[in-house]
């Protein structure tokens, strides 16, 4: 029998595979590479130093936690050298797809001869909305596994190429990608489009998600911060973010609110939402990265759906 290694997108799904008694070893990829600066050389000392610096500064992650949760698991991955097949369990959203690209880039360098397959949740028969791995029942998980996609060398090279572009200092190169359809990544095109919309818009200096947050506050008038957060988590399209990421965005937008609980915009917040003024200069931060690019060195033109370099 051939041996298998499962690489999952998070602890809850790792637990699920254990409960379902899937054969093979399981590694959990504990990162959120869709946020903060990234480097192309996944797993190198400088890569992990860059990641720790970002997580420590922005999410108060301690060195001991980072070593215990992320680096130990990564070292375990490094020690798994004999498996015949590596199965990647990821989801359709931005959070997962960026992590997936990084893992494939690492595998391209360090597991050149392994058979790599992808079990990616999203479209599901009988469901109008895209589903995460956590939404799937046992039968659906087993069917996803049975129908997993074998990645060719070309697929692996392509994922690595997209990762290199994601880590480059110029997102315009990502914008010019057009041959997604030739490869086995059904959700990469909307993911990259979503990523590019995270750069500030010309109209008011906020990006797509920040504008969405103001719109929800103005239109839904959530009665508490908890209700506000639930609305944001429930209706987030391709982002796939968690509580902590929304908490951080809300903190940066705080000057535009009278109160967060209930969620009410102040006059400046309303003017920005109506594109009467810009919040760009207030938000500009020369340490804010999206992949390899400085977030505030580029603007997104929502009319043309194009990125502009400042």
Short-list 125, 129, 141, 131, CA closest to 92: 131
Question: Region 67-73: what's the mean pLDDT?
Answer: 96
Residue 80: is its pLDDT beyond 80?
Answer: yes
Question: Region 31-53: what's the mean pLDDT?
Answer: 97
Residue 141: is its pLDDT beyond 70?
Answer: yes
Q: What is the pLDDT of residues 151-201, one digit of tens each?
A: 999 999 999 999 999 999 999 999 988 788 789 999 999 999 999 999 999
Residue 74: is its pLDDT beyond 60?
Answer: yes
**pLDDT at residue number 235:** 79
Give CA–CA dist 236/48, Å, rounded: 29
**pLDDT at residue number 73:** 96
Question: Region 25-38: what's the mean pLDDT?
Answer: 97
CB 36 within 8 A of CB 54: yes
> If pLDDT is split at 50, 70 and 90, which confidence band does 91 have?
very high
Mean pLDDT, all residues of the chain: 95
Encoded tokens for 125: 């028969």
**pLDDT at residue number 128:** 87
Point out which residues pair with 7 in neighbouring strands: 27, 88
Say how many residues make up the chain.
Answer: 310
* 299-303 long-range Cβ contacts below 8 angstroms, 24+ apart: 299/199, 299/200, 299/201, 299/202, 300/196, 300/197, 300/199, 300/200, 300/201, 300/202, 300/207, 300/208, 301/201, 301/202, 302/201, 302/202, 302/203
Which residue segments constitute the domains of the chain, with CATH numbers given?
4-187 (3.40.1360.10), 208-309 (1.10.10)
CB 151 within 8 A of CB 179: no
Give CA–CA dist 29/60, Å, rounded: 19
Short-list 150, 147, 191, CA closest to 290: 191
Q: Which H or E element spans position 157?
A: helix 153-166
Question: Region 268-289: what's the mean pLDDT?
Answer: 96
Share of the chain above pLDDT 90, in %: 93
**pLDDT at residue number 270:** 97
CB 160 within 8 A of CB 40: no
262 SS3 class: coil
Residue 242: is its pLDDT beyond 60?
Answer: yes
> If pLDDT is split at 50, 70 and 90, which confidence band does 113 have?
confident
Residue 1: is its pLDDT beyond 60?
Answer: no
Short-list 269, 180, 165, 177, CA closest to 217: 269
């Amino acid at each position: 029998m051939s041996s298998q290694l499962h690489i999952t997108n998070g602890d809850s799904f790792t637990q699920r595979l254990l409960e379902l008694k899937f054969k093979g070893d399981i590694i959990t990829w504990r990162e959120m590479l869709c946020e903060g600066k990234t480097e192309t050389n996944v797993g190198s000392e400088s890569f992990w130093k860059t990641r720790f610096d970002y997580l420590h500064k922005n999410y108060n992650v301690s060195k001991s936690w980072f070593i215990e949760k992320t680096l130990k698991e990564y070292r375990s991955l490094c020690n798994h050298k004999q498996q015949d097949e590596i199965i990647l369990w990821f989801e359709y959203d931005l959070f997962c797809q960026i992590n997936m690209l990084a893992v494939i880039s690492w595998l391209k360098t360090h597991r050149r001869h392994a058979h790599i397959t992808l079990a990616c949740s999203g479209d599901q028969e009988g469901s109008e909305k895209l589903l995460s791995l956590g939404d799937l029942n046992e039968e659906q998980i087993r069917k996803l596994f049975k129908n997993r996609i074998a990645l060719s060398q070309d697929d692996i090279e392509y994922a690595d190429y997209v990762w290199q572009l994601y880590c480059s200092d110029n997102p315009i190169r990502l914008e010019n990608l057009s041959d997604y359809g030739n490869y086995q990544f059904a959700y990469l095109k909307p993911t990259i489009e979503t990523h590019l919309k995270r750069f500030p818009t010309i109209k008011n200096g906020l990006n797509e998600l920040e504008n969405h947050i103001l719109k929800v506050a103005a239109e839904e008038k959530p009665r508490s911060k908890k209700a506000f957060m639930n609305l944001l988590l429930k209706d987030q399209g391709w982002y796939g973010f968690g509580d902590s990421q929304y908490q951080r965005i809300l903190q940066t937008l705080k000057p535009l609110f009278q109160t967060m609980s209930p969620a009410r915009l102040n006059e400046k917040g309303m003017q920005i939402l109506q594109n009467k003024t810009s919040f760009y200069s207030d938000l500009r931060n020369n340490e804010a990265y999206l992949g390899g690019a400085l977030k505030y060195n580029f603007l997104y033109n929502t009319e043309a759906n194009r990125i502009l370099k400042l």
